[in-house]
Amino acid sequence: MKRYGLFINGKWIEATTDERFEVTNPATGEIVGNCADGGEADVERAITAAHEAFPAWSNQTAKERAEILRRAYELMIAHKDELGEIMTLEQGKPILEAKGEIQYAADFVEWSGEEAKRIYGETIPASATDKRIWVHKQPVGVAAAITPWNFPASMITRKIAPALAAGCTVVIKPAQQTPLTACRIVELFHEAGVPKGVINLITSTHASTVGEALLKDERVRKVGFTGSTAIGKVLMKQAADTMKKISLELGGHAPFIVFADADLDRAVDEVLSSKFRNAGQTCVCANRIYVEQSIGQAFAERLAQKTKELKVGNGMEEGVAIGPLIDSAAADKVEGQVKDAVNKGAKVMTGGHRHTKVGKHPGQKAHFFEPTVLLDVTDEMEVMREETFGPVAPIQYFSSEEEAIAKANHSRYGLAAYFYTENLARAIRVSEKLEFGIVGVNDGTPSTAQAPFGGFKESGLGREGGKYGVEEYLETKYISVRIQ
Ligand code: ADP
């Protein structure tokens, strides 16, 4: 069992609250870790450490910071198996997915470190001969990272890697369900040579107290958050008082459109991987599947058949494709959406219930849900409007391109959208009309470290990844120079 304190100013210390909390394995209910339960005074200590470390860290050359990030990347890769196992134990996703996430998480560290050397300014032709206009980029200062449980590693590195590359120092608050991956990553960054105070970590069950303490402190100049739209709105309001920069990566409700001219086999496979990754617990999971009427039945049958073959179980076991949901409240929500759909006339092609015969710990069966395909869904059903965060694929038919686009855009969310077609002109038309920050054209898994990830509408603000992600941690300074 892992036991951790808070990481503040280069040291593991106990929380001022003197409290600790346990971390449980959602597949078995076993306790797998124990962490310090940080409070307001700990946040104050962490911000002070980050604030004091900022001048020296931001003054290091980009090359020096890049070298440290490179070492952190290499350490993450060297510990990929260990980190993956920690993640599966506390989060539940299949071990191969967990190791895949470690690679993805490390990629942000590598990419951002390389980009540190390319944070360029600009000169702009002035309107007077005796003036020069320079545009200079500098780090915003102390940055806070508040992260969710569904991607315990990559949601952290996607924030702290560009922050550190830019010259910022950070305070991380990981989700209370998955703090162990975060603790181990912070240890590795320390081993890689990140100086004391540059990375600080507060694990806590007091999310709103910690959040408020981070948001009200004027020394924190940036908040990067991934989580629910509801909490994102709270943070945006709180950030207003000290006018912090914010990046919010919030909920999604991704449409996946399959046109009749699509390569059907590939479309089915991509819906499977987009929908059922992490048991459907990602903000870019296909949530609404729209299939052109003429191929509707054939598509639904193929998808149902392949869905039936997905093995549900403990993510540590070989061949498991669908792990547990994070907790029983998550299973309740998924069950509620399926019941609502069935009551309103949806047909269950496969699945539809909590999974009953899983693993060696039947007492914990409530956390698992059968991978499910629903047909005959309508817009009145919750599953077509609200994020499901579970392994449920609802299918609706459409009969024209315009109808498919209108249905896809009819949402308060605008994170990711996908569509399958072999028609080039349609691919261009549809990708331009979709009101989403990320569009996958014949691609159900577009996320990658160098590309901008983020949403339109209530899916958030700002972008993470690539040069766009680094830009979020920089201030733009205009220097006007008179030379005579
Ligand atoms: P989820 O429903 O996926 O858990 P949340 O938005 O509740 O999403 O949580 C995402 C992150 O935000 C977690 O680290 C959680 O502890 C944190 N969090 C939850 N409530 C607050 C809050 N009021 N202020 C700041 N952070 C919060």
Burial of 478 (0-12, 13-18, 19+ CB in 10 A): exposed
pLDDT of residue 367: 86
Q: What's the CATH number of domain 2-250+459-482, 3.40.50.720, 3.40.50.2300, 3.40.605.10, 3.30.70.520?
A: 3.40.605.10
Q: How far apart are CA 216 and CA 195, in angstroms?
A: 26
231 lines ligand 1 (CB under 6 A): yes
Q: Where in the chain is the domain with CATH 3.40.309.10?
A: 254-448
202 lines ligand 1 (CB under 6 A): no
Residue numbers in the chain where pLDDT is lower than 70: 357-366
Residues 66 and 114 sit within 8 Å (Cβ to Cβ): yes
CA 70 to chain centre: 22
Ligand 1 atom 15 nearest Cα: 175
DSSP codes of every residue in 375-440 = ES--TTSGGGTS---SSEEEEEEESSHHHHHHHHH-SSEESEEEEE-S-HHHHHHHHHH---SEEE
Active-site option among 283, 285, 292, 387 = 283
pLDDT of residue 355: 85
**How far does the centroid of ligand 1 lie from the alpha carbon of residue 231, in Å?**
6
pLDDT of residue 366: 56
The percentage of the chain sitting over the pLDDT mark of 90, rounded to a whole number, equals: 96
pLDDT of residue 359: 47
Helical pair 179-191 and 154-166, crossing angle rounded to 10 deg: 30
208 lines ligand 1 (CB under 6 A): yes
- DSSP designation for 61: -
Question: How do residues 309-338 score in pLDDT, each as one tens digit?
Answer: 999 999 999 999 999 999 989 999 999 999
Partnered with residue 143 across adjacent β-strands are 170, 222
Active site residue 35: no
Helix (H) or strand (E) holding 476: strand 474-482
Q: How far apart are CA 484 and CA 482, in angstroms?
A: 6
Active site residue 283: yes
Q: How far apart are CA 6 and CA 170, in angstroms?
A: 14
Classify domain 254-448 by CATH number.
3.40.309.10
Partnered with residue 348 across adjacent β-strands are 374
Give the three-class secondary structure for 301: helix
Ligand 1 atom 27 nearest Cα: 207
**How far does the centroid of ligand 1 lie from the alpha carbon of residue 151, in Å?**
13
DSSP codes of every residue in 139-188 = E-SEEEEE--SSSTTHHHHHHHHHHHHHT-EEEEE--TTSHHHHHHHHHH
Ligand 1 atom 17 nearest Cα: 207
> Looking at ligand 1, which atom is closest to the CA of residue 173?
14
175 lines ligand 1 (CB under 6 A): yes
Residue with tokens 């409070």: 39
**How far does the centroid of ligand 1 lie from the alpha carbon of residue 45, in Å?**
21
Residue with tokens 């996320």: 447
Beta-carbon neighbour count of residue 357 at 10 Å?
A: 9
pLDDT of residue 358: 55
Q: How far apart are CA 374 and CA 347, in angstroms?
A: 6
What length does the chain have?
484
What's the token pair of residue 336? 């509620």
227 lines ligand 1 (CB under 6 A): yes
Ligand 1 pocket, mutate which of 146, 177, 204 (most atoms under 8 A from CB): 146
What's the token pair of residue 418? 């996908």
pLDDT of residue 1: 82
Ligand 1 atom 25 nearest Cα: 211
**How far does the centroid of ligand 1 lie from the alpha carbon of residue 364, in Å?**
24
> Looking at ligand 1, which atom is closest to the CA of residue 234?
23
Ligand 1 pocket, mutate which of 173, 231, 250 (most atoms under 8 A from CB): 231
What lies within 8 Å, CB to CB, of 274 at 6+ separation is: 254, 256, 284, 285, 286, 418, 440, 444, 445
What lies within 8 Å, CB to CB, of 276 at 6+ separation is: 307, 310, 321, 322, 371, 391, 393
What's the token pair of residue 408? 């896809």
Q: Where in the chain is the domain with CATH 3.40.605.10?
A: 2-250+459-482
**How far does the centroid of ligand 1 lie from the alpha carbon of residue 208, in Å?**
8
Q: How far apart are CA 192 and CA 161, in angstroms?
A: 13
Please report, for the chain, how many H helices and E strands are present, in that order.
Answer: 14, 23
Active-site option among 90, 249, 401, 472 = 249
pTM here is 0.97
